[in-house]
Amino acid sequence: MNAILLVASGGAIGSVARYLVGVLMTRIFGMGFPWGTLTVNVAGGLLMGLFIELLARRFNGSTELRLFVAVGIMGGFTTFSSFSLDVALLWNRGEALFTLIYVLASVILSIGALFFGLWLARAVA
């Protein structure tokens, strides 16, 4: 139960941060391009890399800290950071083919599922 509370509280922080970044980017650049999402995804990748390497690996951060920050805050901020970490882990293990398959499957299937969901909702409505 403690793990769930850590993830949930971190997720709340990350979700609010994602929303605020989106609002800020829209105010600065307008709505013509998804600058907020791009900013969150890039920043999330950078922050996840810094966290994993510094706190988790070099300073042997606790499981609780990893759950709160990596899964909770970063997961609430952007799941793209988790996706990016998965890609890096596969690549670092020398799994180039699995890395490529994972990237392509994630992007193509996720976008395809979104379009299918849109179609399905329109067909039902």
Q: With respect to residue 120, please indicate whether it lies within any of the assigned structural domains.
A: no
Residue 103: the pLDDT is: 96
Q: With respect to residue 6, please indicate whether it lies within any of the assigned structural domains.
A: yes
Residue 8: the pLDDT is: 98
Domain containing residue 27: 2-78
User: How many domains, in total, are found in the chain?
Assistant: 1
Residue 94: the pLDDT is: 97
Residue 60: the pLDDT is: 86
**Cβ(73)–Cβ(36) under 8 Å?**
no
Q: Taking the model in full, what pTM does it have?
A: 0.79
Distances (CA, A) of 18 to 6, 50, 70, 77, 110: 18, 18, 15, 5, 20
Q: With respect to residue 122, please indicate whether it lies within any of the assigned structural domains.
A: no
Q: With respect to residue 118, please indicate whether it lies within any of the assigned structural domains.
A: no
Residue 52: the pLDDT is: 87
- Spell out, as residue ranges, where the chain has pLDDT lower than 50: none
